[in-house]
A and B are shown apart, each in its own frame.
Chain A
Amino acid sequence: MENFEDKYEKKNPFTVPEGYFDRLTEEVMERVKAERSPRRITLLNAIKPYLGLTAMFVFAWVMVQLIAPRFMDSDRMLKQETEELLSGTGEAELDVNFNPTGDEILEYLSDEVDDYELLYADLY
């Protein structure tokens, strides 16, 4: 081993920028201080997640208030009409005695169906 050390001078060939070691302690202390000081939390940042959640609930509530009554009303009206039909009360009463003649049916069709549809029906 002596030969090796004699042959190759044991010298550190690496260098550092000028004044590096003089500044090093302060740099390390600054870094440690930066890591340990808690990040500044603003009021807005703190409540941001809750704001988002609240906005979502408000939106959902508004949508329910706007849309749900329409579905509920139409359901209720349909149910009411069906009940009226079945019970034989109300305006949409079924006329069991309705028995139109052939001429009456033709007259109804000529009023309701146009000529092209009739032609088309004749062809097939």
Chain B
Amino acid sequence: MYNGDKEIIELFHVQGKKENAFRLLVNRYSEKLYWHIRKIVLNHEDSNDILQNVFLKVWQGLAEFRYEAKLYTWMYRIATNESLNFLDEKKRKVHGYAVEITEMLENTLESDLYFSGDRIQLELQKSVLRLTERQRLIFNMKYFDDMTYEEIAEVLDVAVGTLKATYHNAVKKIEENMRLMDSLTL
């Protein structure tokens, strides 16, 4: 029974055991990575495509992986970069206007077949979309993925102090947005 990341990587280097080790890794992290990606790009199909690409990159890079970072940190970083690249590509298609990409993501959210939240949760997600990309990323990782500041700092390569300030500002901004939306619906 292989439980730890280190054991999985050791198994990956044993001849003939590569696939078994990778299967253990996918089993262990696919769901976590999927939700991380989904919070960034929102759409299920896009998230699935990105996740497959992430695991392909992990497969290609795992032989060279040397425990300078934790395995899951490294995988989260790949997933974050792939998701942000995907959004950048979308932005380029709408000529780089942040407002338009926010609108596009809001539309994705509203028409998402796989969104089961109530009105408040929909408004919360819309408010999160109105944050800057960096604030949104940090807020999602802290609030929804329950990651510690130290873990987020490792993934994003940002100082913990900066993360705390960014998260605090993000929460303030979301609350303001929620108040504004409440007053409009009254």
By a beta-carbon cutoff of 8 Å, the part of chain A in contact with chain B is 1, 4-5, 8-17, 20-21, 24-25, 27-29, 31-33, 35-36
Contact = CB atoms under 8 A, between A and B. Distances in A.
Contact of B44 (A4, A11, A17): A17
A10 B144 contact: yes
B121 to A, nearest CB: 4
A15 B59 contact: no
B114 A24 contact: no
B44 A13 contact: no
Interface of B: 19, 22-23, 26-27, 30-31, 34-35, 38-39, 42, 44, 48, 51-52, 55-56, 59, 112, 114-118, 120-122, 124-125, 143-144, 171, 174-175, 178
A27 B52 contact: yes
A13 B122 contact: yes
Among A4, A14, A29, A33, max chain B CB count under 10 A is at: A14
Given A16-B114, A29-B22, A35-B56, A21 B31 contact: yes
A29 to B, nearest CB: 6
Contact of B59 (A5, A10, A14, A32): A32
Interface of A is mostly: helix
B44 A31 contact: no
Given A24-B26, A25-B26, A36-B59, 12 more contacts: A8-B121, A9-B121, A10-B143, A13-B115, A13-B125, A14-B35, A14-B44, A17-B114, A20-B48, A21-B31, A28-B52, A29-B22
Nearest to A31: B52
12 contacts: A4-B174, A8-B120, A8-B121, A9-B120, A11-B121, A13-B118, A14-B35, A14-B42, A14-B117, A24-B30, A25-B23, A28-B30
A28 B122 contact: no
B84 to A, nearest CB: 19
The 7 residue pairs across chains A and B that have the minimum distance between CB atoms: A13-B117, A13-B121, A15-B114, A28-B55, A28-B26, A25-B26, A15-B116
Contacts of A32: 22, 55-56, 59
Given A10-B143, A21-B30, A1 B120 contact: no
